[in-house]
Structure 1
């Protein structure tokens, strides 16, 4: 019989593969149409009555593209809709969230050091937060639809900051950033499903009925599409963050997320300005570099302080669990030559990913990571360079089980 764990891993791999592919398709088409819309030549009197046009060359052929401000006079016989890229990206992303974070809530979603939650409570908070995000975002957009759009962007940023603080106060650092990405991606996909496509269908229905479409529907859809454009880069960062503990393994995770959203704005502002022929604001790259340097500094900030000698708070139960002294000896002997304030492994200037395992407090605080990477799997030490024995890995598993009641 095929191993169920292996089957589950391959299912996760397949869903992740689908998610990446559809996300590439959605992001690619989104970037293309935003650049196309900004770059249209609107200073020409077109016989067709179109709002603007552009000539492009690709794949050995030339393309003549025209955009109608509201709609053409008659309904085209063949109309291509761009929606399934968005829908499939969200559906596969939610499936991946369930496979990894809901089914593995104990390992990836819940951190007792942050908040004591049962699996069902954490999952309920996760789902409710995604629904809440859309309701708040949509409410703000409806409120500011005829107001200054910069004010709307500031209000939306305040919501994102609040959600970053909320997620890091409830979930593990890894899950917090991932959920902030899912929160934002839900808003983006809901924009397509709830606003952009329905508005376009209203315009199509008016054309078929011989009525003149109301331009407000195009205006609203354009607003939401612009928001999606500015949110795309931060979402990608959040989705990749779970592979890089430096991004989520710090008390400043919420602040790192807030700075990343600002980087999304500065980068997209450069390209949007360039595509619309409003100049090339090179200062945005300097601003982005400064923001990224701040992110790097915040990710390693815990290493600047003296490490506590004794565990306290939630980590105390790991330090007091049966077998901790044996595990402490194992970790100090097999791991701390790299994971220390001053690593003595050739070529290392600081602890990999900022994780130190050179004190009782650090070992107890990183209990889950030690269990996952050295007890449950052979991911650490890398290539088993420090020769950790199977008996030692078993000791780590027994210690973790004793501390968690597993």
Structure 2
């Protein structure tokens, strides 16, 4: 019964996380689009930077942006913050329920680094906080005064973080940890810079003081960071469902490419919204980047073992394959899994009979040969030679 309850807790948290993320990303994209589409015209109120006319739902909207704030505040003011807070809170609880509670499966890989569950959790939690502190200090340092220098430095630090996570956690855990780190930076931007700066502006207006324009400039810089990081963080968060993304031993390189591809796609839309010349080159960068990820995913960690087994003079004996599957995968992929906390076989895949194994040969090849996604965290300690055996068999050499 406990396993069933935890499964539904996982499901509900994931559902909530997706809902709140849609709300946050949607509002973020909308306001970046609005900011870029503003146009200067005569007759606008003093202190404004432009206007935009929009149509939606059968009605017209006239949007005007003040550079700092209007002379008089309206009685009702809508704050866009709860979407970000709810996304991070639900995401963190999901991290706890899935990755921390199941650290031995999803976060730890004993062949990468031998860790106790508490050690892996501590490293994950500490690096989330440390990552935000380093990023925040970097933005406030002299480097942060130059957007290009800040972007290049931030990119290098994120790729280094991805490398560090990949030598500590499983591939799945490393990829998710980078995503959680970026998500934490984005939510903290809202909580510790954007909203506080806006509150200071409001307080100055109410007190009859002139707000500091630097507050708005700083908040806009962080908001733009969030905008350009949104697409990469979405890739990283859904990567745990795709073995070729995290299980081929190329996490740092794939993270680096995804950061570039996501940023260039956002640049395309931001430029279009601003009425600037369309940067079609961004799609060329995106195509080359995705092709690079596909190429990397094909250079998996089991190539040598698979090639050796495939070139063997003798065909693979299916009895050997069955022995490997039953001993390394059977504890979970059964009608009644023996692994604690699993109420049913993952994704309904059962590998208890020769017919089951043959039917799922493509999935076995993807999860355990072309990548190291299965067994998760290599919990059953499958060897490279055994993966090579499965590779030769799944490629068609069956006795």
Cα 1:211–1:305, aligned 2, differ >3 Å: closer, same or farther? same
2:345 aligns with: 378
Instruction: Provide the rounded CA distance (Å) in 2 between the counterparts of 1:24 and 1:301.
Output: 34
5+ residue gaps, structure 2, are: 310-316, 358-374, 383-399
Paired residues of 1:44 and 1:52 also in contact (CA < 8 A): no
What is the aligned length? 348
1:342-366: per-residue Cα shift (whole Å, max 9, x none)?
xxxxxxxxxxxxxxx8xxxxx99xx
| Cα distance, 1:305 vs structure 2 | 3.3
| Cα distance, 1:111 vs structure 2 | 0.3
2:391 aligns with: none
Q: Does 2:7 align with 1:18?
A: no
Instruction: Provide the rounded CA distance (Å) in 1 between the counterparts of 2:233 and 2:192.
Output: 20
Instruction: Provide the rounded CA distance (Å) in 1 between the counterparts of 2:259 and 2:379.
Output: 39
1:133 aligns with: 131
Paired residues of 2:245 and 2:297 also in contact (CA < 8 A): yes
Cα 1:51–1:257, aligned 2, differ >3 Å: closer, same or farther? same
Q: Which has the higher contact order (CA 8 A, sep 6+)?
A: 2
Paired residues of 2:110 and 2:379 also in contact (CA < 8 A): no
Cα 1:222–1:209, aligned 2, differ >3 Å: closer, same or farther? same
1:183-206: per-residue Cα shift (whole Å, max 9, x none)?
000000000000000000000000
Instruction: Provide the rounded CA distance (Å) in 2 between the counterparts of 1:208 and 1:105.
Output: 50
| Cα distance, 1:146 vs structure 2 | 6.2
TM-score, with normalisation over the residues of structure 2? 0.81
1:267-295: per-residue Cα shift (whole Å, max 9, x none)?
01101111111111111001100000000
TM-score, with normalisation over the residues of structure 1? 0.79
CA RMSD after TM alignment: 2.8
Which of residues 163, 174, 177 in structure 1 aligns to 2:175?
177
Which of residues 37, 40, 43 in structure 2 aligns to 1:39?
37
| Cα distance, 1:95 vs structure 2 | 0.1
Paired residues of 2:47 and 2:67 also in contact (CA < 8 A): no
Instruction: Provide the rounded CA distance (Å) in 2 between the counterparts of 1:252 and 1:241.
Output: 13
Where 1:82 maps in the other structure, the secondary structure is coil
1:332 aligns with: 321
Instruction: Provide the rounded CA distance (Å) in 2 between the counterparts of 1:104 and 1:304.
Output: 25
1:321 aligns with: none
Instruction: Provide the rounded CA distance (Å) in 1 between the counterparts of 2:142 and 2:331.
Output: 49
5+ residue gaps, structure 1, are: 312-327, 336-356, 358-362, 390-396
Instruction: Provide the rounded CA distance (Å) in 1 between the counterparts of 2:180 and 2:347.
Output: 29
